Amino acid sequence: MRLLVCLADHAGEVVSIDDLLNEVWPGVAVSLDSVYQAVASLRRVLGDDPKEPTYIETVPRLGYRMVAAVGPWVDEPAAQAGTLPAGEGDGPRRAPTARRTWIAAAVLCLVMAVGTGVAFLIHNRNAKADHSASARAESPPQKSIAVVPLLDLTEGMHQETFADGMTEELIDKFSRIPGLRVASPTASFYFKGKQIAVGEIARTLSVAYVLDGSVRQSGAWVRVDVRLIRADNGYVVWSETYDQPMTNILMVQDDIAGAVTKALEASIGGRPDG
């Protein structure tokens, strides 16, 4: 309910995950996965489709937005339908109408839906807390990875768009590796520009590996440096540098992402889940 109220209070505006954590879960340690689960649960309660939203829209790398019209409830007074005969009452009495019956039924349905939703969210949150407590003692799946947004180290930092596109291309390529669990772009881009240790990122996203790197352009050439880090010990499993001419940005991103994917499969692709 707090999530719904928060989004409704900022209807039409993008609410970042940081703002949701501060307003919906103040003073409580909540993982990003809990936020995604709460949004998904709320969508199920509302019968919303994330691909064609009528209530809650996902804004990639930014947060969520309430797209439904939001306004205060106004109970319009019903017109008088008649009065009792003289002497059978102190004054005019309103007769029930089909409109008032419909409104009452709608309000009842809404209350039941919200009540069910709140119960579901509370149950889901408690179950999530229990799961998180037990999961802390367990290791994440061995075949799991998160791609941290690549840094733009070009002089003047004018290749941020290329760096973000390179990150999304890597996530897309990795997600096609059978059996490999890959953190979503929304989860990965939450850490963009933040000074957070690799181990903390891995624990938050429940992954065994983290891939980070950088992008630099010099003249007509671009260099992409990437490294694969084992989260539990912080050791670099492998690193590689890729140089490509900037003739076609999409082709460059595709070629480099393909090469990195092959190297990744050779390193962890054949390992069983843990």
User: Do β-strands 221-230 and 209-218 pair in parallel, antiparallel, or remain unpaired?
Assistant: antiparallel
User: Do β-strands 209-218 and 144-147 pair in parallel, antiparallel, or remain unpaired?
Assistant: parallel
Task: Please give the Cα distance from 61 to 10 (Å, whole number).
Answer: 18
Q: What is the pLDDT of residue 138?
A: 62
Instruction: Considering the chain, tell me which residue range(s) the CATH 3.40.50.10610 domain(s) occupy.
Output: 144-269
- Average confidence (pLDDT) over 45-62: 85
Give the pLDDT band of residue 134 (cuts 50, 70, 90): very low
Q: What is the pLDDT of residue 209?
A: 92
Q: What's CA 242's distance to the chain center, in Å?
A: 31
Task: Dig out the tokens for 211 from the structure.
Answer: 């891939």
Give the pLDDT band of residue 89 (cuts 50, 70, 90): very low
Instruction: Considering the chain, tell me which residue range(s) the CATH 1.10.10.10 domain(s) occupy.
Output: 1-71+114-138
- Average confidence (pLDDT) over 241-268: 86
- In CATH, the architecture of 144-269 is 3-Layer(aba) Sandwich (3.40)
Please choose, from the candidates 61, 72, 113, 42, the residue with its C-alpha nearest in 3D space to the C-alpha of residue 53: 42
Residue 24: exposure state from Cβ atoms within 10 A (0-12, 13-18, ≥19): buried
User: Do β-strands 151-152 and 209-218 pair in parallel, antiparallel, or remain unpaired?
Assistant: parallel
Q: What is the pTM of this model?
A: 0.50
Question: CB–CB of 239/210 below 8 Å?
Answer: no
Lowest average pLDDT, out of 24-38, 192-206, 245-259, goes to 24-38
Q: If one looks up domain 1-71+114-138 in CATH, what number appears?
A: 1.10.10.10
